[in-house]
Amino acid sequence: PLTIYRKDYTPPGFWVETVEMGFDLDPEATHVATRMTLKRNPASQNKSLLLYGEALRLVQLRMNGKALTKRAYTLGPGTLEINNPPDHVTLEIETVTHPNLNTSLMGLYVSDGNFFTQCEAEGFRKITYFPDRPDVMAKYKVMLRADKEKYPVLLSNGNLIEEGDLGDGRHYAVWEDPFKKPSYLFALVAGKLVCQEEKYTLHSGREVLLQVWVEEGNLDKTQHAMDSLKRSIRWDEERFGLELDLDRFMIVAVGDFNMGAMENKGLNIFNTKYVLANPRIATDTDYANIESVVGHEYFHNWTGNRVTCRDWFQLSLKEGLTVFRDQEFSADMIGTDSARAVKRIEDVRVLRQAQFPEDAGPMAHPVRPDSYVEINNFYTVTVYEKGAEVVRMYQTLFGRDGFRKGMDLYFQRHDGCAVECDDFRRAMADANGRDLSQFELWYCQSGTPHLKVDTHYDEVAKTYAITLTQSCPATPGQAQKQPYHIPVAVGLLDGSGRDLPLHLGGVEIDGPAPTTMVLELTQQRQSFEFRNVPVHPVPSILRGFSAPVVLEIDYSDAELAFLMAHDSDPFNRWEAGQRLAMRRLLALADAVQKDHALSDSELQETALGKAYHKILSDRMLDPAFCELALTLPSETVVAEQVDVVDPHAIHAVRQFMRRSLAAAMRVEWEVAYQANRTPGSYSPDAAAAGKRALKNLALSYLMELDEPQMHLLAQGQYDQANNMTDRIAALSALVNSSAAGRDEALARFYAEFEQEALVIDKWFALQAMARTTDVAKVRDLMAHTAFTLKNPNRARSLIFSFCNGNPAQFHAVDGSGYEFWADQVIALNAINPQVAARLARSLDRWRKYAPALQEKMQAALKRVAATKSLSKDVLEVVTKSLA
Ligand code: HT7
Ligand code: ZN
């Protein structure tokens, strides 16, 4: 398949000014009549007019009022090229699509009898022939016509300007979007839907209409999304001075959706998972995710829609920035410093769990990729999460005020335009009077930089030197790396754990000396000298995770325990605990591989045992922080630390450590369990959610003891739970134990929630990740009446959860997990290439495994690669994996 390169970008031959569309909606065959006016782009060398189209039947093509003869245009695979058109063109195109056959969920499709669209990145070309590229922005007016009874609600972008009856059982609605937009932001929805709506007054006094549309029966699950939307609107006004520019803002929930949500102008379309919530069906995590995804899509209205991407290589321009904005929004909504830190830890956990492995694997790519085969494969954790870290570093360097100045300048310069990542960097640099040319490396180099720290204390001179050395491993296509510009936030602790005031050589500071300073590493190796350091300090480096790097520093166990107990930076307190735990996990894994017996008799005496004990017994600590601090690094994160992965050894030692910690701190876990109950009615607020998280962690540790008394505890929690967080935690604990009632609990859960698709997803996911679930069990579950591969949420809940969330079983030594994986990638490829390609990523890291497993993984990859009619989505992933 064709590789597209960033360096080959050329401006479009024609600009589109206006687009008028008429849809005759019919699931079997929808007719789309499009009239657009275009004008030649004098800056372009492209003489012809190039339109893209896929899976369309072309019925009519007229230019400037006349039907075009077959000689006047060339219909290629995926393109329609009009030869030598005049400078001003009015094109009229009639196409037919088949929404009910569209299982790719891109373009126009049907979900539960209703019509939806998904146009990002290149779905609009499945609706009509069009210059479907993000730098072509136009104004749209859309008429929807459909059967009135089957599709009473007709929605599109912008404002409803007319609606009425067509007299034949059909009706129509006309929508006009006052803003120019790229085609990927087009949307329509038609069907039987109901909405919760509210009028909302902006800071400016203007009143807007907010709507959350769902299927009938789900109106009791929309309040949290509506509240999240209102909070998002307020936050963007207050933090960035950005106002909603429309009179009406709609969110629509759909059960069949490839991703989380989509920021179509004024008509956001959401996966039901990120809209529907009430205490009965949604967990604390669901509530938090809904708030952040609602925020994310809303924030795109400025960062993505008003200022969009010139081409898809610039995807992180909108995605990295908008993830950063949604992270800040969620942190601000929680409020307290400690809760902000919890949010930061959670975000970094995602980065390490998913992005670091991506950056170290065969699909590694820069935040701004240089090439792609299928753009849908580049909606990645690198573009999103690492992109957000890159944006965060501007704020770390310039402070909130400096960052805001950069944002203001960005909008001042580029509102209404399609721009590049470089334009954002330039706005930040110019607004803050800084040269950020070296910073471009964060956008164009792939791989996770390593940052080595060496220190020296001069007792006589009372100076403390920190020497930072950076390196970045080779990644596909990039053997050599240049040094990055890395902001490194540091603090120094004295012997009693207090922050020392910092005096950095050569830096004059007005007012009291700070206790955290940002060192700017720009060379491969650089030393920073602190003066007036009265005692040999313990350094706290990379506070708040100030850059997306791997920190290499030689702490002793005692220093880590000290930092875990005292660091004023909560992120580094957590980090110290993770390092301690990792150290022990790796030592145990080494012992397992050498066939040594594992012993936990001295755990209480180790730095780790003491530190965990201290955290759990500290009643002043935020429960949400405790929960994070007492959760061991995941098996995936441990796997990234070793040269040759033995998933069975990693699983065994992590389990062993959990059992040891359960036994060693049994009383403390019991106390924590009781102390963090949240009686009374459910609230998803951060404080209550934090308590539930710690209580449920305590339960999961206690269940490691596998005693009847603990089984009763879990059973009791299951029976009495008034919310899904507690119920699913109890069910998960039971399913992972030998409790007699576990199958019955699963059956009861299913019976109670059979009608709630999102809860049945949880039911499948929980079983997919259960310790005893092997391939055979997953195949059994696939035969369940509630299972279908066609629904992405359902496929993810069972298949992805097993392949990505149950490493010990997935990596069965007989290779059955890999055969299962290949079967499902091939099956999904025929239904939904995007979802198939995501699953194809599960074997990315195959070269890191022991040879016997590697061989079997390679065979499975080859089997997929050799499959006939493979989509370019899957082909790109497996080809790069095998390269
Ligand atoms: N911008 C949205 C991306 C998206 C998407 C991309 C490809 C295929 C389906 C999709 N659904 C949504 C989501 C976001 O980042 O907000
Ligand atoms: Zn986004």
What is the SS3 string spanning 803-817? HHHCHHHHCCCCCHH
Among the bound ligands, the one closest to the CA of 122 = 1
For ligand 1, atom 2, name the residue with the nearest CA: 262
Q: Residue 38, SS3?
A: strand
Residue with tokens 């100030």: 546
pTM of the model as a whole:
0.98
Q: Is 184 in the pocket of ligand 1 (CB under 6 A)?
A: no
Q: Give Dmax over CA atoms of the chain in angstroms.
A: 94
**Residues catalogued as catalytic:** 297
Q: Is 185 in the pocket of ligand 1 (CB under 6 A)?
A: no
Report whether 270 contacts 254 (CB < 8 A).
Answer: yes
Assigned domain for 490 exists? yes
From the CA of 218, how far away is ligand 2's center (Å)? 25
From the CA of 615, how far away is ligand 1's center (Å)? 40
From the CA of 489, how far away is ligand 1's center (Å)? 33
Final residue before a domain boundary, out of 159, 177, 192: 192
For ligand 1, atom 3, name the residue with the nearest CA: 262
Report whether 728 contacts 692 (CB < 8 A).
Answer: no
Assigned domain for 201 exists? no
Q: Is 122 in the pocket of ligand 1 (CB under 6 A)?
A: no
For ligand 1, atom 1, name the residue with the nearest CA: 262
Assigned domain for 848 exists? no
For 41, the token pair is: 């782009």
Measured distance CA(292)–CA(232) in Å, rounded:
9
Q: Is 258 in the pocket of ligand 1 (CB under 6 A)?
A: yes
Measured distance CA(22)–CA(175) in Å, rounded:
11
Q: Is 376 in the pocket of ligand 1 (CB under 6 A)?
A: yes
Q: What is the pLDDT of residue 702?
A: 98
Q: Which of 105, 120, 256 has most ligand 1 atoms within 8 Å of its beta carbon, as the pocket-test mutant?
A: 120
Assigned domain for 108 exists? yes
For 469, the token pair is: 């050395």
Measured distance CA(263)–CA(267) in Å, rounded:
7
Q: What is the pLDDT of residue 605?
A: 82
From the CA of 750, how far away is ligand 2's center (Å)? 33
First and final C-alpha spacing in the chain? 15
For ligand 1, atom 12, name the residue with the nearest CA: 262
Q: How distant, in Å, are the alpha carbons of 80, 238, 608, 622 from that of 615?
A: 65, 36, 11, 10
Ligand 1 atom having least distance to the Cα of 297 = 16
Q: Which of 259, 274, 315 has most ligand 1 atoms within 8 Å of its beta carbon, as the pocket-test mutant?
A: 259
Among the bound ligands, the one closest to the CA of 118 = 1
From the CA of 833, how far away is ligand 1's center (Å)? 15
Measured distance CA(688)–CA(696) in Å, rounded:
12
CATH code at position 479: 2.60.40.1840
Q: Is 873 in the pocket of ligand 1 (CB under 6 A)?
A: no
Assigned domain for 157 exists? yes
Q: Is 379 in the pocket of ligand 1 (CB under 6 A)?
A: yes
Final residue before a domain boundary, out of 167, 192, 217: 192
Q: Is 119 in the pocket of ligand 1 (CB under 6 A)?
A: no
Name the strands in the sheet holding 188-191, side by side, starting at the edge strand that comes first in the sequence: 107-111, 114-118, 188-191, 153-156
Q: Is 264 in the pocket of ligand 1 (CB under 6 A)?
A: no
Report whether 348 contacts 412 (CB < 8 A).
Answer: no
CB atoms < 10 A from the CB of 307, how many?
A: 21
From the CA of 541, how far away is ligand 1's center (Å)? 36
Measured distance CA(186)–CA(263) in Å, rounded:
10
**pLDDT digits 0-9 by tens, 377-395:** 999 999 999 999 999 999 9
Residue with tokens 């062993």: 656
Tell me how long the chain is.
883
Among the bound ligands, the one closest to the CA of 319 = 2
C-alpha angle 787-792-797 in degrees, rounded to nearest 5: 60
Q: Is 380 in the pocket of ligand 1 (CB under 6 A)?
A: no
Report whether 295 contacts 326 (CB < 8 A).
Answer: yes
Ligand 1 atom having least distance to the Cα of 323 = 15
Measured distance CA(611)–CA(508) in Å, rounded:
38
Tell the burial category of 786 from Cβ atoms under 10 Å away from its Cβ (0-12, 13-18, 19+): middle
Q: Is 704 in the pocket of ligand 1 (CB under 6 A)?
A: no
For ligand 1, atom 11, name the residue with the nearest CA: 259
Q: Which of 305, 317, 379, 873 has most ligand 1 atoms within 8 Å of its beta carbon, as the pocket-test mutant?
A: 379
For 336, the token pair is: 């307290």
Assigned domain for 590 exists? no
Helix segments in 769-815, DSSP class H:
775-782, 792-795, 801-805, 807-810
Ligand 1 atom having least distance to the Cα of 293 = 16
Q: Is 259 in the pocket of ligand 1 (CB under 6 A)?
A: yes
Ligand 1 atom having least distance to the Cα of 379 = 6
Low-confidence ranges of the chain (pLDDT < 70): none
Q: Is 117 in the pocket of ligand 1 (CB under 6 A)?
A: no
Residue with tokens 């509530």: 287
Among the bound ligands, the one closest to the CA of 374 = 1
From the CA of 272, how far away is ligand 1's center (Å)? 14
For 431, the token pair is: 């607004």
From the CA of 377, how far away is ligand 1's center (Å)? 11
Q: What is the pLDDT of residue 354?
A: 98
Measured distance CA(548)–CA(365) in Å, rounded:
15
Helix segments in 721-783, DSSP class H:
724-735, 742-753, 757-768, 775-782
From the CA of 882, how far away is ligand 2's center (Å)? 30
Q: What is the pLDDT of residue 604?
A: 78
Q: Is 550 in the pocket of ligand 1 (CB under 6 A)?
A: no
Ligand 1 atom having least distance to the Cα of 123 = 8
Q: Is the backbone of residue 645 left (phi > 0), alpha (psi -120 to 50) or beta?
A: beta
Full residue range of the structural domain in which residue 526 is found:
450-553
Q: Is the backbone of residue 399 left (phi > 0), alpha (psi -120 to 50) or beta?
A: left
Among the bound ligands, the one closest to the CA of 261 = 1
- Closest among 305, 291, 224 to 262, alpha carbons compared: 305
Final residue before a domain boundary, out of 192, 224, 240: 192
Ligand 1 atom having least distance to the Cα of 319 = 15
For 746, the token pair is: 């699963």
Measured distance CA(699)–CA(709) in Å, rounded:
12
Ligand 1 atom having least distance to the Cα of 384 = 15
Phi, psi for 704 (deg, rounded to 5): -65, -25
Among the bound ligands, the one closest to the CA of 184 = 1
Q: Is 385 in the pocket of ligand 1 (CB under 6 A)?
A: no
From the CA of 379, how far away is ligand 2's center (Å)? 9
Report whether 85 contacts 74 (CB < 8 A).
Answer: no
- Closest among 628, 18, 83, 64 to 339, alpha carbons compared: 628
Residue 383 DSSP code? I
- Amino acid present at 234: R
CATH code at position 117: 2.60.40.1730
Q: Is 846 in the pocket of ligand 1 (CB under 6 A)?
A: no
Among the bound ligands, the one closest to the CA of 134 = 1
From the CA of 292, how far away is ligand 1's center (Å)? 15
Q: Is 105 in the pocket of ligand 1 (CB under 6 A)?
A: no
From the CA of 264, how far away is ligand 1's center (Å)? 10
Phi, psi for 432 (deg, rounded to 5): -110, 10
Measured distance CA(254)–CA(268) in Å, rounded:
11
Q: Note every long-range contact of 99-106, with CB atoms under 8 Å and residues 24 or more positions apart, other chains counting.
A: 99/25, 99/27, 99/30, 100/27, 100/28, 102/55, 102/126, 103/790, 103/831, 103/832, 104/831, 104/832, 104/833, 104/834, 105/256, 105/257, 105/258, 105/792, 105/832, 105/834, 106/258, 106/834
Assigned domain for 666 exists? no
Residue with tokens 């990234």: 640
Q: Is 296 in the pocket of ligand 1 (CB under 6 A)?
A: yes
- Closest among 237, 235, 265 to 250, alpha carbons compared: 265
Q: Is the backbone of residue 573 left (phi > 0), alpha (psi -120 to 50) or beta?
A: alpha
Measured distance CA(126)–CA(101) in Å, rounded:
12
Measured distance CA(16)–CA(183) in Å, rounded:
10
Helix segments in 140-283, DSSP class H:
223-240
Residue with tokens 């492209």: 46
From the CA of 220, how far away is ligand 2's center (Å)? 27
**Bridge partner list, 22:** 33, 143
Query: How many Cα atoms sit within 13 Å of 719 on the Cβ side?
Result: 9
Report whether 658 contacts 814 (CB < 8 A).
Answer: no
Q: Give the DSSP per-residue string, 297-332.
A: HHHTTTBTTTBEESSGGGHHHHHHHHHHHHHHHHHH
Assigned domain for 625 exists? no
Domain count, the chain: 2
Measured distance CA(276)–CA(120) in Å, rounded:
23
Report whether 628 contacts 345 (CB < 8 A).
Answer: yes
For ligand 1, atom 14, name the residue with the nearest CA: 262
Q: Is 608 in the pocket of ligand 1 (CB under 6 A)?
A: no
For ligand 1, atom 15, name the residue with the nearest CA: 319
Q: At what angle do helices 757-768 and 742-753 cross, to 10 degrees?
A: 160
